[in-house]
Amino acid sequence: MTSGNKRPRREVNGILLVDKPQGISSNGCLQRAKWLYRSAKAGHTGALDPLATGVLPLCFGEATKVSQFLLEADKRYLTRIKLGERTDTADSEGEVIERRSALGVTRDDVVNALSQFRGEISQIPPMYSALKHQGQPLYKLARAGKEVERKRRQVTVHDLVLHGFDNNDGEPALELEIHCSKGTYVRTIADDLGQVLGCGAHVTALRRLQAGAFVIARCVTLDDLQRIAEEQGDEALDALLVAPDEAIEHLPAVELSGLCAGYVRQGQAVTVRPLPVTTGDDALVRLYEGDEFFGIGAVLDDGRVAPRRLMKESTR
């Protein structure tokens, strides 16, 4: 295999939906895919813990211009939580800092406790997270044995479903499906739930089922990606990419004539009738010339549509 520094780069544009394996960081997953595609520009759309698996959208080239929307999108997770032990990371990769019996915890106790974790809730982000304090990631401070004050943040849990509860085998555990807003820490839900139940708890498995519009059934594994690269080459790899506008399908679409699209590409606002949104909200829209997606626009107070993030014309 040729050194990564000597492999010729190529222009790659689109979103790759990867099923991240356990034990690798999101950045490690990104770098492996980027190397296989020989792409000069790529980024992921919100880190998953090394313990976690599942949907990790990777944006290549011009698709990085929609990555912020995937960062801000709702997520859906399936998690297994062990009762009776609290860890310093709130998952099984950390050190146990407290043990308490969970044998008296019933399914009804869990159901009642879960009612506190639906809707808008308040969380203190864990020390073992990528959030920064004075420029330093919290996890680096935590590894150095330091703990700093973190501000509470409001997040939204749209749905929280108990799929399983087992307290009969000496290792009490439960399984939850969680649909939540950006910034929600499932590990913190587990830790806080353990405190409410009075026995402590931590995450032992976490799988992201959905990120925005993208679901796990559409994802490819890194092993399959490696095989496709070796056996079928660039064309087959590119066929796996999803168009950038799929990431923002929740935004209304505006179709422009060739003349208006040309003005927008030059940075000018244009009048569009009829508008798919109400004016005055600086609402964002998808921009199309015919069936070609070419960027994101905003509806101004006067009803005109102005460019916000435009794709290079050479990418389609």
Q: Are residues 48 and 197 in the same domain?
A: no
pTM value is: 0.90
Predicted pLDDT at 2: 44
Determine contact, residues 74/183, Cβ cutoff 8 Å: no
Q: Are residues 79 and 63 in the same domain?
A: no
Instruction: Tell me the catalytic residues.
Output: 49
CATH code assigned at 230: 3.30.2350.10
CATH code assigned at 279: 2.30.130.10
What's the rounded Cα separation, in Å, for the pair 225 and 9? 18
What's the rounded Cα separation, in Å, for the pair 78 and 291? 36
- Decide the pairing of beta strands 14-20 and 42-44: unpaired
Predicted pLDDT at 140: 74
Residues 6+ apart with CB under 8 A from 191: 86, 90, 126, 201, 202
124, part of any domain: yes
Q: Are residues 93 and 183 in the same domain?
A: yes
Token representation of residue 256: 């422009």
Work out how many domains the chain is built from and give that number: 3
Q: Are residues 26 and 84 in the same domain?
A: no
Predicted pLDDT at 1: 42
Q: Are residues 201 and 271 in the same domain?
A: no
Q: Are residues 64 and 141 in the same domain?
A: no
Q: Are residues 30 and 118 in the same domain?
A: no
Domain that holds residue 120: 75-211
6, part of any domain: no
Predicted pLDDT at 4: 47
| H/E segment holding residue 37 | helix 26-37
Predicted pLDDT at 316: 43
Predicted pLDDT at 315: 46
Q: Are residues 110 and 207 in the same domain?
A: yes
Quick check: helix, strand or coil at residue 62? helix
Predicted pLDDT at 301: 84
pLDDT along the chain (316 residues), means of 10: 64 96 94 95 87 96 93 96 95 94 94 97 80 70 73 94 87 95 94 96 97 97 96 96 95 93 95 75 87 93 90 66
From 152, 186, 211, give the residue that closes a domain. Answer: 211
Sign of the CA dihedral with 210 first, then 138, 200, and 113 last: negative
Which string of DSSP letters, residue by residue, matches 188-231? Answer: HHHHHHHHHHTS-EEEEEEEEEEETTEEGGG-EEHHHHHHHHHH
137, part of any domain: yes
What's the rounded Cα separation, in Å, for the pair 110 and 196? 9
Predicted pLDDT at 259: 94
7, part of any domain: no
What's the rounded Cα separation, in Å, for the pair 56 and 44? 7
1, part of any domain: no
Q: Are residues 307 and 288 in the same domain?
A: yes
